Amino acid sequence: MKAALATGSSPRRQLRNAWLGLAVLSAMVLHTYLKWRWGTLPELLWGCNVASFVIVMGLFLDHPAMVGTGFLWHVGVGEPGYVFGVIQTGHTTWVSVLVHSLPTVAAFLSLRRTGLPRPSPWLAFLLFVALVPISHYLTPARFNVNLAHERLWVLQRHFPGNWDYRFAFSAIMLAILLLADWGFGAWFGRPGGKPDSLKPVGSA
């Protein structure tokens, strides 16, 4: 019989999350430094990077909804997009592999103990809604951060207008995030609900 997820926090869980957050933060600091060295600092506004910093804050604050927001962005949007880009270009770097895997793993380890909060996909969608115009105005067009400067050709082909393209793009993103939330919500359980692992209430 599955035990209920603990709804409260504990010093042990907070310490574990702090160590996970420190590991992800260290990777992101290194990533930021290398972006600066390579002259690609505007790429830090890519949703994956922003989601990683959201995960860091969520881990340090022991805030499952923030961790869930970053996690759903990574598994629903970031990692598939990253893998597609690697296949398309045939190129990546070791630090890119690190910052696309470590935050996701850290969030996974945290959420399997807390459950995935229901607001997470909606917060991740708001992150998308905010980042596209921010990226459009604050980043050079050559980087095409968050696809803010150059449209997806497959969507542009079917939705050539400005607003119908934006609506279609947003609807697809929301559907992906909700699908990821449905799958991982069933796996992790919800705060106060039932996880897939046998974990007694109050354990950390």
CA–CA dist 28, 87 (Å, integer): 23
CA–CA dist 42, 7 (Å, integer): 38
Q: Are 196 and 5 in contact (CB under 8 A)?
A: no
Least confident among 18-27, 85-94, 177-186? 85-94
Higher pLDDT, 183 or 1: 183
pLDDT value at 154 more than 90? no
| Residue 116: pLDDT band with limits 50, 70, 90 | very high
Higher pLDDT, 9 or 119: 119
Token digits of residue 37: 């060295």
Nearest to 71 by CA among 24, 12, 136, 18: 24
Long-range contacts formed by 84-90: CB under 8 A, 24+ apart: none
* Span 200-204, average pLDDT: 41
